[in-house]
């Protein structure tokens, strides 16, 4: 049921329903400013209109902009909680927190229900019955760690169906990092022991792993399998060298996430410490703007963070109690399918750990402030060197990628306040240009971006194009056409010039050159300067993003071509295959058994499709 209340000065508190639900505060233009939930909507919303305010100095700042409130009734408070989360994700209101940090965290996944379980590095935690470990801040670092894990416990690396199509075990088996279950080189029981060792190691149960290896080493020595015993001895020593003994106390078993915060006016630094089996695994921080209750801040944070496909621990420790702790704990327990506790400890070791998290949040805020000051200085230098009318708080860079005009694509990478805003990146499939006309393709991409920016008032202060005077001219003409000349600063970044001698040896390399409209000579920034580094990184990121998208389209086109080349696979059959499997990628990944089980697909044709795609994979391998 939906209730809409008009201008707030004519508010009649009795017009609000008394049940649970969600309220959406809107300005005069209908823009959603804030989304909240309540057990009793009438009581909650009445608190915003108490004469003189309700003691929260920031509430009048919000309410001065509110022109209407829309409320949505729900049957239960839990439904209101979930609806609030979904609406915040959809509308991203200004006065709700926006969790954004500069890192993408990963987890390690292993599914013990598989025939021969394998390790995977993933970025999304799903409720699929698998086990997840983490989170880890660095994907490259955890992959390096897994190399050591494979040396200790050589689990398989690739899909078992693919490996079984090979004539012999893979290279990983030859270098001792895979036990080759696909070719019967290890029994299921022995492989299960390897899996138990990996689970113990990733869970932080190092003594259990060492005891297991010690028993196997003693058994091998007793049976006079001295080479195996020596290998196990080396594994034991490797683990003992790599184990870091930390001072974090085990807080009663299981895993804990510990929240700390530091508030300074409307700016809040949130920080999570990840404790796994009594060991501090890492931390993650966010800087948010927040001017409402601390209770609402913590509740919204927990809702957004743990609703985003991350590992949910046994316990979540908070710096202050919140009214919805029980409701959130029930919701998280349902997501995790195991009990989750949320508490704000008042004494003892858990209280000490929360205080440590708050000290880390304070230090994180200090460091973030120092970095922001440094980035502001860099942006001020860019503004001065490129004669911009405003500080370039948002810089967008564009690039075009293709191979001889085929699969032409465009990309946009973005800096917001000097930091990469990955969520703002966009990629464009060229629709109106045929062949290798980079200028026309760039014009199409820029036109689509600027028209959208005009419609939703989201224009940048600066646009950088990858190229020289020609690309810059395309952008300049488009700004004049759209009436944006003077509103957006523009520049073209051209690759450095390299001069070689007759033997091809580099004798001189110029700096990156930046072309500006109406200026004959390019601007050059000091070698090694932070401003040059920032813009080079932005250009490189744009190029990477374009190349990645281009390769993806080219790979799909190659797959589609391979499917079309199979005798007996016509348009109707291709459509049926895509409908059954969902995508070309899934057709390629399908096992022979899965293809043969497709209704209406002849067994012989299933074999031909499997052979075509997997022969292609074998050639790549």
Q: Mind listing the pLDDT tens digit for each residue in 14-32? A: 777 888 889 888 888 888 8
Per-residue pLDDT band for 579 (boundaries 50, 70, 90) equals confident
Q: Which residue has better confidence, 103 or 281?
A: 281
Q: What are the φ/ψ torsions at residue 7 (nearest 5 degrees)?
A: -65, 135
Q: Pick the closest to residue 529 from 371, 383, 382 (CA basis).
A: 382
Helix (H, G, I), strand (E, B), or coil: what is residue 494?
strand
Q: Three-state secondary structure along 533-550?
A: HHHHHHHHHHHHHHHHHH
Please report, to the nearest 10 degrees, the dihedral formed by the alpha carbons of residues 578, 584, 585, 591 taken in order: 60
Q: What is the average per-residue pLDDT within 37-59?
A: 72
d(CA 289, CA 296): 13
Burial 551-565 (b: 16+ CB within 10 A, else e): eebeeeeebeebbee
Structural domain boundaries in the chain: 2-91, 106-242, 255-366, 394-543, 565-620
Q: Mind listing the pLDDT tens digit for each residue in 377-418? A: 999 999 999 999 899 999 999 988 765 545 678 889 999 988
CATH homologous superfamily, domain 394-543: UvrC, RNAse H endonuclease domain (3.30.420.340)
2-91 shares its CATH topology with 565-620: no
The architecture (CATH level 2) of 2-91 comes to: 3-Layer(aba) Sandwich (3.40)
Q: How far is CA 620 from the centre of its chain?
A: 29
Q: What is the CATH number of domain 255-366?
A: 3.30.420.10
Q: Mind listing the pLDDT tens digit for each residue in 351-386? A: 999 999 999 999 888 887 777 788 889 999 999 999
Count the helices and strands in the chain (H runs, E runs).
19, 21
Q: Mind listing the pLDDT tens digit for each residue in 494-529? A: 876 555 655 666 445 556 889 999 888 888 888 878
Q: Which top CATH class is 565-620?
A: mainly alpha
Residue 209 burial class via C-beta count within 10 angstroms: exposed 0-12, middle 13-18, buried 19 and up: buried
DSSP 523: B
Q: Mind listing the pLDDT tens digit for each residue in 70-98? A: 888 888 888 888 888 888 888 888 888 87
Helix (H, G, I), strand (E, B), or coil: what is residue 267?
strand
pTM: 0.63
Give the max Cα distance, the chain.
91
Helix (H, G, I), strand (E, B), or coil: what is residue 615?
helix
Q: What are the φ/ψ torsions at residue 596 (nearest 5 degrees)?
A: -70, -25
């Amino acid at each position: 049921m939906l209730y809409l209340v008009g201008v707030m000065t004519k508010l009649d508190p009795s017009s609000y329903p008394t049940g649970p639900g969600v309220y959406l505060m809107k300005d005069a233009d209908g823009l959603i400013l804030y989304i909240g939930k309540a057990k009793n909507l009438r009581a909650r919303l009445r608190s915003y209109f108490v004469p003189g305010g309700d003691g929260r100095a920031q509430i009048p700042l919000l309410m001065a902009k509110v022109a209407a409130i829309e409320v949505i009734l729900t049957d239960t408070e839990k439904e209101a909680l979930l609806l609030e989360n979904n609406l915040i994700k959809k509308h991203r209101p200004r006065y709700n927190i926006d969790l954004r940090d500069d890192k993408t965290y990963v987890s390690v996944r292993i599914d013990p229900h598989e025939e021969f379980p394998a390790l995977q590095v993933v970025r999304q935690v799903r409720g699929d019955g698998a086990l997840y470990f983490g989170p880890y801040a660095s994907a490259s670092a955890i992959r390096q760690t897994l190399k050591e894990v494979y040396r200790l416990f050589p689990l398989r690396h690739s899909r078992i169906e693919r490996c079984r199509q090979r004539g012999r075990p893979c290279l990983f088996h030859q270098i001792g990092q895979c036990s080759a279950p696909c070719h019967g080189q290890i029994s299921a029981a022995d492989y299960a022991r390897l899996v138990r060792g990996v689970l113990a190691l990733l869970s932080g149960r190092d003594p259990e792993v060492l005891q297991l290896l010690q028993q196997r080493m003693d058994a091998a020595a007793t049976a006079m399998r001295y080479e195996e015993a020596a290998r196990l001895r080396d594994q034991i020593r490797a683990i003992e060298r790599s184990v870091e003994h930390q001072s974090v106390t085990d807080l009663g078993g299981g895993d804990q996430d510990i929240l700390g915060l530091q508030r300074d006016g409307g700016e809040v630094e949130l920080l999570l410490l990840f404790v796994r089996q009594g060991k501090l695994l890492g931390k993650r921080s966010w800087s948010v703007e927040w001017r409402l209750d601390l209770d609402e801040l913590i509740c919204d944070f927990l809702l957004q963070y743990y609703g985003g496909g991350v590992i949910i621990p046994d316990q979540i420790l908070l710096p202050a109690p919140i009214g919805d702790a029980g409701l959130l704990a029930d919701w998280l327990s349902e997501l995790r399918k195991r009990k989750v506790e949320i508490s704000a400890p008042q004494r003892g070791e858990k209280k000490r750990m929360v205080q440590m998290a708050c000290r880390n949040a304070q230090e994180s805020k200090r460091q973030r402030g120092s970095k922001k000051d440094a980035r502001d200085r860099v942006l001020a230098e860019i503004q001065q060197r490129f004669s911009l009318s405003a500080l370039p708080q948002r810089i967008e860079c564009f690039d075009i990628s293709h191979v001889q005009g085929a699969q032409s694509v465009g990309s946009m990478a973005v800096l917001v306040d000097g930091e990469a805003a990955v969520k703002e990146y966009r990629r464009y499939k060229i629709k109106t240009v045929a062949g290798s006309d980079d200028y026309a393709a760039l014009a199409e991409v820029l036109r689509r971006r600027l028209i959208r920016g005009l419609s939703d008032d989201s224009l940048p202060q600066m646009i950088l194009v990858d190229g020289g005077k020609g690309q810059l001219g395309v952008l300049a003409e488009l700004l004049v056409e759209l009436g944006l000349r003077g509103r957006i600063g523009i520049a073209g970044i051209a690759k450095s010039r390299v001069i070689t001698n007759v033997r091809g040896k580099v004798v001189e390399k110029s700096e990156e050159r930046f072309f500006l409209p109406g200026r004959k000579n390019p601007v050059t920034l000091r070698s090694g300067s932070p401003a040059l580094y920032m813009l080079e990184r932005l250009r490189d990121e744009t190029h990477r993003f374009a190349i990645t998208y281009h390769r993806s389209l080219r790979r799909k086109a190659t797959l589609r071509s391979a499917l079309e080349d199979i005798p007996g696979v016509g348009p109707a059959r291709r459509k049926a295959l895509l409908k059954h499997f969902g995508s070309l990628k899934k057709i390629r990944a399908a096992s022979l058994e899965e293809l043969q089980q497709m209704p209406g697909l002849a067994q012989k044709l299933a074999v031909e499709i499997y052979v075509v795609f997997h022969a292609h994979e074998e050639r790549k391998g």
